[in-house]
Amino acid sequence: MPFEEKLTWVNLVVTLGVAATYFTAVLTPLGEVAAAEIAYQRPLLIAVGASIVLTIVGAILTAIATAVSGEIAGRDATADIERKDERDADINRRGDLLGYYVASAGAVGVMALTMLEADYFWIANALYLSFLTAALVSATYKLVLYRRGY
Question: What digits encode the pLDDT tens for the residues 17-44?
Answer: 999 999 999 999 988 999 889 999 999 9
What count of other Cβ atoms lies within 10 Å of the Cβ of residue 10?
A: 20
Average pLDDT over residues 112-127: 96
Cα distances (Å, whole numbers) of residue 44 to 47, 54, 104: 5, 15, 20
- pTM, to two decimals: 0.87
Average pLDDT over residues 54-79: 84
Amino acid at residue number 62: T
Rg of the chain in Å (alpha carbons): 19
Average pLDDT over residues 89-96: 94
